[in-house]
Amino acid sequence: MSEVDPRIRVHIGDITKLPVDAIVNAANTSLLGGGGVDGAIHRAAGPELLAECRTLNGCKVGDAKLTKGYRLPARYVIHTVGPVWQGGGKGEAELLASCYRRSLELAAAKDCQIVAFPAISTGVYRYPKDRATQIAIGTVSAFISHNAVPETVIFCCFEQRTAELYQQALLRLTERE
Ligand code: AR6
């Protein structure tokens, strides 16, 4: 068995504390803040983040937009909008994969070497965690295998159980290779 891809890391903790090039925000289409990780990022970044978000005219589900990080230790915030889980028959998987791809494209365009993602859509938007994890790992791993930047992607998990799902999915991925 080959080793787990060293460019992908799993971290347990608060994404707002990470001193990386970009953190990804699980936002909503207004980009004007909310609860969960979105609320935490806006609180930590300060009101300048909301002011910049107001200039962006929202964001479509599956797309992403980039702002500065302001008072965060991260240089940029990439705001993406995950799908609300509606049973799986409404294109949720493709939309979630698109969130990861579009975020990575924006990160690469700004030459971000280290990017951290939360588990997009798995909170308020109720996407089943095991399915969301497979999509996150599969999409990120495909992207970095074709692109040199970002060099490292961190999956930042708020709970131990989520981190275990990521570790298991990473192992399954390397076993298939
Ligand atoms: N650091 C890392 N992960 C976190 C943090 C944090 N500080 N806080 C929460 N999580 P959610 P969604 C995890 O609900 O499902 C907002 O109101 C959390 O445990 O934040 O995409 C937006 O404005 C979960 O696993 O995002 C939208 O309206 C994951 O982040 C809506 O919620 C995502 O949970 C988006 O819902």
Summarize pLDDT for 87-143 with one digit per residue, the tens: 999 999 999 999 999 999 999 999 999 999 999 999 999 999 999 999 999 999 999
Minimum-distance ligand 1 atom for the alpha carbon of 125: 15
Of 158, 159, 160, 166, the one to substitute when testing ligand 1's pocket (max ligand atoms within 8 A of C-beta) is: 158
Residue 80 gets the label, from left (phi > 0), alpha (psi -120 to 50) or beta, of beta
Residue with tokens 């609320």: 39
Indicate which residues carry an active-site annotation. 38
Residue nearest to atom 5 of ligand 1 (CA): 37
Residue spans of alpha helices (H) in the chain? 36-45, 47-54, 92-109, 129-146, 160-176
Answer yes or no: pTM beyond 0.95: yes
Residue 3, pLDDT score: 56
Per-residue model confidence as pLDDT tens digits over 59-100: 999 999 999 999 999 999 999 999 999 999 999 999 999 999
Phi, psi torsion values for 79, nearest 5 degrees: -95, 120
Query: Tokens 């993602």 — which residue?
Result: 117
Report the separation in Å between the CA atom of 2 and the middle of ligand 1, taken as the mean of its atom positions: 32
Atom 34, ligand 1: residue with shortest CA distance: 123
- Ligand 1, residues 37, 121, 157: which to mutate, most atoms within 8 A of Cβ? 37
Give the confidence band of 1 by pLDDT, cuts at 50, 70, 90.
very low
H-type helices in 46-128, by residue range? 47-54, 92-109
ipTM for the predicted complex comes to 0.99
Cα 159 to ligand 1 centre (Å): 12
Q: Which one-letter DSSP state was computed for residue 30?
A: T
Pocket of ligand 1 (CB under 6 A): 14-16, 26-28, 34-38, 40, 82, 118-125, 156, 158, 162
Helices 36-45, 47-54: inter-axial angle, 10-degree rounding: 110
CA of 26 to the centre of ligand 1 (A): 6
Average pLDDT over residues 36-40: 98
